[in-house]
């Protein structure tokens, strides 16, 4: 495991805790997960992928709130992880969990079509 991977893993853990316990914005729902963090090789930027289980409007508002709190999150990460330079945090929406649920639903409809008629 490379140094960048270890830093990304530690940042993922810390950012998850910061979002859950330190950000008090009502636009951020409880059903929010940090799915992954990609850190550039020079440690200047960290893309934080967020999965949100909510309506499209709630997702949009949550992403606006997170992007607005990026400076706060960066400062908190800098205090918790000892790095010479704390990466700039860029929040990106990750819809892979929803896509997976949708594909699973399609597979189930294909394999078990009789369940649809019984409802």
Is 3.40.50.1860 the CATH number for 3-118? no
Instruction: Give the pLDDT score at 97.
Output: 82
| Beta strand pairing call for 88-93 and 45-52 | parallel
Q: Residue 117: what pLDDT?
A: 53
Query: Domain residue spans in the chain?
Result: 3-118
pTM for the structure as a whole: 0.83
Q: What is the number of other CB atoms lying within 10 angstroms of the CB of residue 109?
A: 11
Q: What is the pLDDT of residue 105?
A: 92
Please list the pLDDT of the chain residue by residue as tens digits (119 residues). Answer: 899 999 999 999 999 999 999 999 999 999 999 999 999 999 999 999 999 988 999 999 999 999 999 999 999 999 999 998 999 999 999 988 888 889 999 999 999 887 655 45
For residues 58 and 61, give the distance between their C-alpha atoms in angstroms, rounded to a whole number: 5
**CA pair distance 15, 1, nearest whole angstrom:** 20
Give the pLDDT of residue 79: 95
Task: Please give the Cα distance from 25 to 36 (Å, whole number).
Answer: 22
pLDDT of residue 95: 86
Q: Got the DSSP string for 40-68?
A: -TTSSEEEEEEEE-S-HHHHHHHHHHHHH
């Amino acid at each position: 495991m490379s140094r960048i991977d270890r830093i990304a893993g530690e940042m993922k853990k810390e950012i998850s805790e910061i979002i859950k316990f330190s950000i008090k914005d009502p636009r951020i729902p409880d059903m929010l997960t940090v799915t992954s963090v990609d850190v550039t090789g020079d440690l200047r930027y960290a893309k934080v992928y967020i999965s949100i289980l909510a309506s499209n409007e709630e997702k949009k508002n949550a992403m606006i709130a997170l992007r607005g709190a990026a400076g706060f999150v960066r400062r908190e990460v800098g205090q918790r992880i000892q790095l010479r330079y704390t990466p700039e945090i860029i929040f990106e929406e990750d819809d892979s969990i929803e896509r997976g649920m949708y594909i699973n639903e399609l597979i189930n409809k294909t394999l078990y079509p009789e369940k649809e008629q019984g409802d």
